[in-house]
Amino acid sequence: MPMKVGDEPFNNRVGEGIQNTFMRSAVSGAQDRLEKNRQLAVEELSNWEEWRSLGEEIRQHVLANLDYYLTQLSDQVAARGGHVFFAASAEDARAYIANVAKEKQAKKIVKSKSMVTEEIDLNHYLEKHVGCSVVETDLGEYILQLDDDLPSHIVAPALHRKKEQVQESFQRHHQYEGSERPEELTKHARKMLRDDYLTADIGITGCNFAVAETGSVCIVTNEGNADLSTALPKTQITVMGMERLVPTFEELEVLVNMLTRSAVGQKLPSYVTVLSGPRQEGDVDGPEEFHLVIVDNGRSEILGSEFQSILQCIRCGACANICPVYRHVGGHSYGSIYSGPIGAVLSPLLGGYDEYKELPFASTLCGACTDVCPVKIPLHELLHKHRQTIVEKEGRAPISERFLMSIFGMGSSSSGMYKFGSKVASSALKPLTKGDHISKGVGPLKNWTDIREFPAPKKERFRDWFDNRQKGDH
Amino acid sequence: MKGTIQNRESFIRQLSSRLQRSAAPKHVERPQWGYTPQHKTLQNLSQDELLAVLQKQCTRINTNCIVTSSADLATTMEKVITDNGGGPIMAWQDERFDAYGLTSLFTQTLPEKQIELHTWDPAVGRENIALVEKANIGITISDITLAESGTAVLFSNPNHGRTVSFLPTKSIILIPKSSIVPRMTQAAMQIRERLQNGETLASCINFISGPSNSADIEMILVVGVHGPMYMTYIIIDDL
Amino acid sequence: MKISLFATCIVDMFQTNVGKATVELLEHLGCEVIFPNGQICCGQPAYNSGYVKDAKEAMKNMITAFDDAEYVVCPSGSCAYMFREYEKVFADDRQWAARAKRLAEKTYELTQFIVDVLGITDVGASFNGKVTYHMSCHMTRLLGVKSAPLTLLENVKGLTYTELPNKTTCCGFGGTFSVKMTPISEQMVDEKVQHIIETGAKYIVGADEGCLMNIRGRAERLGAHVQVLHIAEILNSRNAEVHV
């Protein structure tokens, strides 16, 4: 599974995440700041709930008419002289892009940040099958690529890296002699990448949104790397997840605004670039050839299912920025390039339950993600749907848990069973009880008391007290 | 030139089938959206009020914002160029520079001061890239300007190289006060209107809000990553 | 006004004092309190774990138990929300849909009931001490009760309120999450306890016994000098100090 990150089982990944104190303080610091910025940015609008309703409506309309809008988009791109390739699978997408690269005899490809190309593991494929170098130009991705590391956050991919680690990478790979100051590290990357832009044969980008009416692709950055990646090389290849489009410029505007406010609290980022086909006749810069690769890779199976709303996602990462679980375990614990609540919903759908069955359970269903989602994806409800599917349709729950739950079902639906059970609970748990606490539980109680005290059941239950009081005993 | 489309039929058929129909609809009417908050934002502001919004936003996006009268533009421009360290400069080829009275600055004053200025010239092709790559300053003009986000909107064409606003270390964007609109909403509508009136769509439309920046290393903001490190908007009071 | 108390299984078995305080408080406010004896558990532990079929049995029992109630009041935002959720769970069940909907519509969390239905913002309580308040997830975000508990606390004589940092962040309980994902839950509740300690408050108050049991259990294990109370205990306090 290309979107898979590492081979460690879930519990080990979580354990490593929790032990990683730098990563954790980086994540909690980033969360606090990004969430505060997001709140300020949406409060400035004063009617954010209306924006969310509009965002949701636009996304739902597009999904309900995805076949129509993708047809329109591809017609428009072709009318502008672009080439559109519909890729049903990751393999199809990779093979097509590799073919273009071979045809162009590409030695060097510059690439701007794109989650879908991570998902289809494009870089390794091109390096192996075309033999060209692929240079990530987003600063965070550039840093990760040097050590073949993977993104831990949708928007801030190198969030888990310390500046000293970045310095060390630059030293090792580039004989960098500067300090660990971010300004100096950035300047170094700027110098290195300048040359890459000027000498690259192909520029590959992701796509924040495509515009069906005009056959345009919109890419959003603060660094300007997507602009240089597309303005200088002779060939541009844009890879988009098939659901990432809007009808017209008017909806593009709404969603770009919501994306950047939700992601980092910006009204707009430094660069919102709308590219329509290859360069026009007479243009000096911009690509001579433009390819748009539209990727399904499992998405169409989600369309029309009870999980369809996850396709509304505009990849802002606001859900990760508020998630209390993400806060403590970090992005890599999710075992997928898609982390946080969106990852916990999407990864099992794209990558299967074999790899990702734990993710939907790694949530308290606190609903914070649902609350901040700019396009109103009911994330916590989708996590719950996953749980139900895993337990009831897939039958993947541990036998011990199934047994416990069926006891629960009986105990909580039959008054007699409950009355008996709850009445004897106090004496049954007596051997474990000290004062009014249980400190060392057994069975399902053990995990609880590993870290917390558990209250001993009261001899007189509330209902007994109430009964007696009615009878005038109190 | 007409492009190509591959693998569409089976791909779209799969989507239609997931959406429980035999084929994609021939036409879909864009709905009247239930909410339109974008039109209410910064509604009913005068051009002066919009300018104030723009100026305030510039302070938040590391952008130097200077307002000047048409009469003073050449002097202001010269000062900004000097303050930014002079040449070499690459400017778009645009008749508006002449209309704004900048011709003598560009063709006489600057050369006299040994400040090298080049104008984007499609006739010399890739040579432009070599020049713009070495330029200290790039000069462009905003067609539509968004007050809310402090955004200049640049449209590419043969005379308007995309890289003029990206490759030089510093960027100067001329902003006619008349081009200021409340927000991206009005820009999107204008662009659609132009298309409906038969104008061709620029192959590249850049919405630029301040200099290039990144916070990818420990969330510490660094200004100037791949694009310009310094940004100046010169607002011309053309009203 | 006649109200049927949905005490919750945690209160029935472990936190009986919360049930008692709830009854006394509601009676003090002029309500007649009934305890429908058929009630057991709302089914949330099974439901949230994905065992919807098993949970439905528990839910049907609750629907039956509260069929005749005029108002259902519950001292737990999460369990009250579960009743609201029944409407969705049984939406396609011809036999139960209407009854589930009726139950959902007449169910209130305790503070929500006092403020929104009774229209009371000052229950006449007095309590001396510095208090901070944890906003439980389901009550705040799913049930949408945000201001009622704070309004009521504001009007308690003698009480000093201090805001909890990240007050709406989950405490790490999450029902079965607390035992299935204990290492993650531990980190979450540790941060919560840390924030509570930072406030310098003597009392941490909440309106959901699940969350409170988690916070209390961890605070006790860590030896934190803070007392965990349910809001009903504060609102039912007419003396200087609460006795638990």
Q: What is the DSSP letter of A460?
A: S
- Does residue A97 sit within a domain? yes
Whether residue A143 has pLDDT greater than 70: yes
Final residue before a domain boundary, out of C55, C82, C116: C116
Q: Which residue has the tokens 């329509």?
A: A276
Of the candidates A386, A405, A466, the beta carbon closest to that of C54 is on: A405
Please indicate, yes or no, whether residues C8 and C112 belong to a single structural domain of this protein: yes
Half-sphere exposure of B186 (CA within 13 A, CB side): 21
Confidence band for A474, pLDDT divided at 50, 70 and 90: low
Averaged confidence pLDDT in chain B = 95
Q: C203-206 and C126-133: which strand pairing?
A: parallel
Give the H/E segment covering residue B164.
none
Structural domain for A272, as ranges: 58-154+188-300
Average pLDDT over residues A226-235: 95
User: Which amino acid appears at position A231 of this protein?
Assistant: A
DSSP for residue C58? H
Q: Which CATH superfamily is domain B47-237 in?
A: NagB/RpiA/CoA transferase-like (3.40.50.10420)
Tell how far CA C159 is from the center of its chain.
Answer: 20
Domain end (from C94, C116, C138): C116
Same domain flag for C36 and C77: yes
Last residue of a domain, one of C69, C95, C116: C116
The answer to whether residues C79 and C155 belong to one domain is no
Same domain membership, residue C168 and residue C196: yes
Nearest residue to A30 (alpha-carbon basis) of A317, A380, A370: A317
Q: What is the per-residue burial (b if ≥16 Cβ within 10 Å, else e) of A304-317?
A: beebbbbbbbbbbb
Q: Which two tokens stand for residue A187?
A: 């300047």
Whole-prediction pTM: 0.94
pLDDT tens-place string over residues A399-419 = 777 777 777 777 777 777 777
Q: What is the pLDDT of residues C53-76, one digit of tens each?
A: 999 999 999 999 999 999 999 999
d(C-alpha A164, C-alpha A150), whole Å? 18
Q: How far apart are CA B113 and CA B220, in angstroms?
A: 39
Structure-derived torsion over alpha carbons of residues A8, A10, A11, A17, reported in degrees to the nearest 10 = 80
pLDDT tens for residues B177-191?
999 999 999 999 999
Chain A residues inside the 8 Å CB shell of C45: 408
Q: Which of A113, A128, A31 is nearest to A337 (CA)?
A: A113
- Alpha carbon distance A353, A163 (integer Å): 36
Chains that touch C (3 or more CB pairs under 8 A): A
Partner-chain residue, chosen from A84, A185, A273, that has the shortest CB–CB distance to B5: A84
The reply to whether A313 falls in a domain is no
Half-sphere exposure of B81 (CA within 13 A, CB side): 28
**Per-residue pLDDT, A2:** 60
Residue B198 CA to residue A41 CA, distance in Å, equals 37
Report, as an integer, the average pLDDT of A310-327.
96
Q: Give the residue numbers spanning the domain of C189.
A: 121-235
Q: How near does any CA of chain A get to the CA of C128, in Å?
A: 26
The tens digit of pLDDT for each residue in A123-136 reads 999 999 999 999 99
pLDDT for the residue C244: 46
Q: Residue B14 CA to chain centroid, in angstroms? A: 40
Which candidate, B221, B230, B147, B219, places its Cα nearest to that of B183? B147
B96 token code pair: 């508006």
CB atoms within 10 A of CB A234: 16
The predicted-structure confidence for A338-367, as pLDDT tens digits, reads as follows 999 999 999 999 999 999 999 999 999 999
A354 at C interface, C-beta within 8 A: no
Task: State the smallest CA–CA distance between residue A127 and chain B in angstroms.
Answer: 24
Domain's final residue, options A300, A321, A342? A300
CATH code at position A148: 3.40.50.10420
Closest residue of A to B121, CA-based?
A284
pLDDT per residue as tens digits for the range A93-132: 999 999 999 999 999 999 998 999 999 999 999 999 999 9
Q: What is the pLDDT of residues A242-266, one digit of tens each?
A: 999 999 999 999 999 999 999 999 9
For position C54, which CATH number holds? 3.40.50
A342/A373 Cα distance (integer angstroms)? 10
Chain C contacts of A325, Cβ < 8 Å? 181, 184, 188
C–A contact: 3+ Cβ pairs < 8 A:
yes
Residue A440, pLDDT score: 86
Asked if residues B213 and A270 have their Cβ atoms less than 8 Å apart, the reply is: yes
In a domain, A28, yes or no: no
> How far is residue C12's CA from residue C18's CA, in Å, rounded to a whole number?
9
Tokens matching residue B158: 């043969």
- The answer as to whether A225 is a domain residue is yes
Rounded Cα gap, residues C17 and C210, in angstroms: 15
Residues 6+ positions from A183 with CB-CB distance below 8 Å: B222
- Residue type for A379, please? L
CB contact under 8 A, A392 and C12: no
Determine the Cα–Cα distance for residues A240 and B91; give it in Å rounded to an integer: 34
Domain count, chain C: 2
Q: Which residue carries 């004062």 as its tokens? A: A435
Helices and strands: H and E segment counts in chain A: 23, 13
Contacts of A303 in chain B (CB under 8 A): 15, 18-19
* C-beta separation of B138 from B164 below 8 A: yes
Does C touch B (3+ CB pairs < 8 Å)? no
**Which pair of tokens denotes residue A61?**
């309309």
Select from A269, A300, A331 the last residue of a domain. A300
Nearest to B8 among A74, A183, A266 (CB): A74
Residue C240 lies in a domain: no
Judge whether A271 lies within some domain: yes
Phi-psi region of A331 (alpha: psi -120 to 50; beta: other; left: phi over 0): alpha
C241 in a structural domain = no
Q: Which residue of C has its CA nearest to A444?
A: C179
| Nearest by CB: B218 against A77, A137, A162 | A162
Cα of B149 vs its chain's centroid, Å: 12
Q: Give the distance from residue B204's alpha carbon to the nearest chain A alpha carbon, in angstroms.
A: 5
| A208-A211-A216 Cα angle (round to 5) | 85
- Half-sphere exposure of residue A378, counting CA atoms within 13 Å on the CB side? 10
H/E run at residue B63:
strand B63-69
* Dist CA A454 CA A432 (whole Å): 10
Test C218 with A452 for CB contact under 8 angstroms: yes
Say how many domains are in chain A. Answer: 2
Round to whole Å and give the CA distance between B143 and C205: 57
Q: Which residues pair with B208 in a beta bridge?
A: A271, B152
B192 touching chain A per CB within 8 A? yes
Is C242 a domain residue?
A: no
Least confident of A14-28, A206-220, A423-437, C103-117: A423-437
The ipTM value here is: 0.96
Q: Which of A300, A321, A338 is the last residue of a domain?
A: A300
Q: Is C224 left (phi over 0), alpha (psi -120 to 50) or beta?
A: beta
In what helix (H) or strand (E) does residue C129 lie, and over which residues does it extend? strand C126-133
Q: Mind listing the pLDDT tens digit for each residue in B47-92?
A: 999 999 999 999 999 999 999 999 999 999 999 999 999 989 999 9
Task: Tell me the DSSP string of B82-99.
Answer: HHTT---EEE---HHHHH
